[in-house]
Homo-oligomer: A and B are copies of this chain.
Amino acid sequence: MSETQPRTRIQKKNRVAILNAALEVFSQFGFRGSTLDQIAKTSGLSKPNLLYYFPSKEAIHVELLSGLMDTWLDPLRDLDPKGDPKAEILAYVRRKLEMSRKMPRESRLFANEILQGAPRMMDAIQGELKLLTDEKAAVISGWMEAGKIAPAHPYHLLFSIWSLTQHYADFDVQVRTVLGGDPIDPYPDADMYLETLFSKLLTV
């Protein structure tokens, strides 16, 4: 992914600060809606200083995205073909929901990119994402054919897991508003609901 790894500790610190600020901004406004000045102000650095560490606005964005796909697929990679089918899938749902809870900005960055037609992520989607999805969909298909879990469209099963878990990060504002003004954490209930939902779906 990233060729240039920081030499000095100042570089390390500032690159982290920039990428963190950029994540904050890009995840809210998308690539085109974000400005270098916003990122500069958020990171506490000057605009020319940003461009000392990164050659362009696009380079910052690409750097964020390239790191993201790997992280994003980790929970799915951990789905063990040798584990108990239903438990594996339920555990995957839980990991994915946990990721939404802990990395909502990353989820929104991803959502923004896809919404815009994935102009800077097509390669990763056609490559890594599709490869891993095909592989795991085959595993799930195998489980279904063996009668270990109820039959269902394996790809749409995966889509539904992505959709449902990421929803709590991407539509956070809506979820919390609808649930009431109180700053209630929606995740515990979400976790229970999703467990029920997929447990019933997969039980033969």
Q: Is residue A144 within 8 Å, beta carbon to beta carbon, of the partner chain? A: no
Within 8 A of B (CB), among A160-204: 160, 162-164, 167-168, 170-171, 173-175, 177-179, 186, 189-190, 192-194, 196-197, 200-201, 203
Instruction: Answer whether residue A4 sits at the interface, using C-beta atoms and an 8 A cutoff.
Output: no
A interface: dominant SS: helix
Chain B residues with CB under 8 A of A190: 156, 159
CA distance A64 to B11 in the complex (A): 45
For the complex formed, measure the closest distance between the CB of A119 and the CB atoms of chain B, giving whole angstroms.
10
Q: Which residues of A contact B (CB under 8 A)?
A: 28-34, 108, 111-112, 114-118, 122, 125-126, 129-130, 133, 150, 152-153, 155-157, 159-160, 162-164, 167-168, 170-171, 173-175, 177-179, 186, 189-190, 192-194, 196-197, 200-201, 203
